[in-house]
C-alpha cells in the first residue's frame, strides 16, 4: 500500500476547555487538564511529521475552546475551500477565523448556505463525497457541496448522538476502503455503505466508544486512538500499519485524532 504525503492544518489547544455541552461526551463539571491536552496534541502533530506529512498551524483564539478541532474548520478539496457554519452558537466564531486562514493561504473560497461542519461531516472517499447529516451538517448543505466540489455526494444518515459527526462513525482508509460502525447509521445508509464498500472493515461498539473511528489514514499508516485495540488489530490484518495515540483529554470534548486534523487538498494531483 502506498502512503500519500499529506498537507494538514491543526490548531494548538491553548484555550481548550469543556465549559459547555453540545454533544453527549461533554461534561462541563468534569475536570480537564489543558496542559495535558496540549502535550497529547503535540504528540499527534509529531506523529504526522514523523510520517512525512506537512503540518500547518492556525493561531488559536481565546474563548473558542473547541477550535482545536480543525476538521470542523472547512472542507478543502482540489484547491477549493468551503467555509463552515456551525449549528451551535458557542462555535460560531471559529468559522470566520478558519475562513480567514484559507483565504490568506490562497484557496478559492466558497461560503456555506446551510449548517455545514466541514470535514467532521464531509469525507472524500475515492471519487465520492460521503456527507453526514442528522445531528450537525444540514441535509441541504449536501447539495451545495456537490455543486462546489463536483464530486457525487452520498448522504449518510447518522442515528446515534454519541457519533454526531460522520468522522466519529466512519474512517476513510484509502481510495477504495472505509471502516465504520454500522449501528451509527440508518438502515438505508447501512445498505448504501454495503453497496459502495463491500470490503469495508466493520468496527465494534467498543472501538467506536473510544472514538477509534476518528482516525487519519494516509493509505498505508492509520493514526488512531490507542484505546481502539480491536480496530487496530483488524486494520493490521488488512495490511495497514497502525499508530496509536492517546488523546484522552480531547475526548472529553468528543474529539479524537481526525477531529484535530484538517486535510488541505491542493489540486487534483495531491488529492
**Distance in Å from the first CA to the final CA of the chain:** 16
8-19 exposure pattern, b = at least 16 Cβ within 10 A, e = fewer: bbbbbbbbbbbe
> Whose Cβ is closer to ligand ARG: residue 88's or residue 241's?
88
Residue 197's CB is within 10 A of a number of other CB atoms, namely 21
> Whose Cβ is closer to ligand ARG: residue 232's or residue 256's?
256
Burial class (CB in 10 A: 0-12, 13-18, 19+), 133: buried
Q: How far is the CB of 66 from ligand ARG (least distance, A)?
A: 4
> Whose Cβ is closer to ligand ARG: residue 1's or residue 181's?
181
> Whose Cβ is closer to ligand ARG: residue 1's or residue 156's?
156
> Whose Cβ is closer to ligand ARG: residue 99's or residue 255's?
255
Q: How far is the CB of 125 from ligand ARG (least distance, A)?
A: 16
259 has catalytic annotation: yes
Q: How far is the CB of 208 from ligand ARG (least distance, A)?
A: 12
Q: How far is the CB of 87 from ligand ARG (least distance, A)?
A: 8
Task: Check: CB of residue 23 under 8 Å from CB of residue 254.
Answer: yes
260 has catalytic annotation: no
Task: Check: CB of residue 254 under 8 Å from CB of residue 214.
Answer: no
The SS3 of residue 181 is: coil
Catalytic residue, chosen from 11, 221, 259, 260, is 259
Catalytic residue, chosen from 11, 165, 221, 260, is 165
Residue 210's CB is within 10 A of a number of other CB atoms, namely 20
Q: What are phi and psi of 203, to 5 degrees?
A: -85, 160
**Binding stretches for ligand ARG (CB under 6 A):** 22-23, 26, 66, 69, 71-72, 91, 120, 165, 167-168, 253-255, 259
Q: How far is the CB of 38 from ligand ARG (least distance, A)?
A: 17
Task: Check: CB of residue 252 under 8 Å from CB of residue 18.
Answer: yes
Give the strands of the sheet with 7-10, arranged side by side.
Answer: 54-57, 7-10, 262-263
Catalytic residues: 165, 259
Amino acid at each position: 500500500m502506498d502512503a500519500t504525503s499529506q498537507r494538514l492544518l491543526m490548531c494548538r489547544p491553548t484555550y481548550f476547555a469543556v465549559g459547555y455541552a453540545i454533544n453527549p461526551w461533554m461534561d462541563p463539571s468534569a475536570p480537564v487538564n489543558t496542559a495535558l491536552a496540549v502535550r497529547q496534541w503535540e504528540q499527534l502533530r509529531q506523529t504526522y511529521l514523523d510520517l512525512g506529512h506537512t503540518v500547518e498551524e492556525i493561531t488559536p483564539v481565546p474563548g473558542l475552546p473547541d477550535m482545536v478541532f480543525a476538521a470542523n474548520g472547512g472542507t478543502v478539496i482540489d484547491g477549493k475551500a468551503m467555509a463552515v457554519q456551525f449549528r451551535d452558537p458557542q462555535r460560531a466564531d471559529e468559522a470566520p477565523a478558519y475562513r480567514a486562514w484559507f483565504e490568506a493561504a490562497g484557496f478559492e473560497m466558497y461560503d456555506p448556505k446551510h449548517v455545514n461542519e466541514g470535514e467532521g461531516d464531509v469525507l472524500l472517499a475515492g471519487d465520492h463525497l460521503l456527507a453526514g447529516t442528522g445531528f450537525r451538517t444540514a441535509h441541504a448543505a449536501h447539495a451545495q457541496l456537490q455543486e462546489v466540489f463536483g464530486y457525487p455526494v452520498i448522504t449518510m444518515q447518522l442515528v446515534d448522538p454519541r457519533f454526531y459527526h460522520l468522522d466519529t462513525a466512519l474512517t476513510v482508509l484509502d481510495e477504495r476502503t472505509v471502516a465504520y460502525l454500522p449501528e451509527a447509521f440508518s438502515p438505508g445508509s447501512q445498505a448504501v455503505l454495503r453497496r459502495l464498500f463491500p470490503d469495508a472493515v466493520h468496527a465494534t461498539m467498543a472501538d467506536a466508544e473510544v472514538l477509534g473511528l476518528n482516525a487519519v489514514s494516509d493509505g498505508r499508516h492509520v493514526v488512531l486512538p490507542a484505546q481502539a485495540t480491536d480496530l487496530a488489530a483488524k486494520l493490521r490484518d488488512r495490511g495497514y500499519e497502525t499508530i496509536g495515540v492517546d488523546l484522552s483529554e480531547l475526548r472529553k470534548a468528543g474529539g479524537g485524532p481526525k477531529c484535530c486534523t484538517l486535510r488541505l487538498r491542493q489540486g487534483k494531483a495531491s488529492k
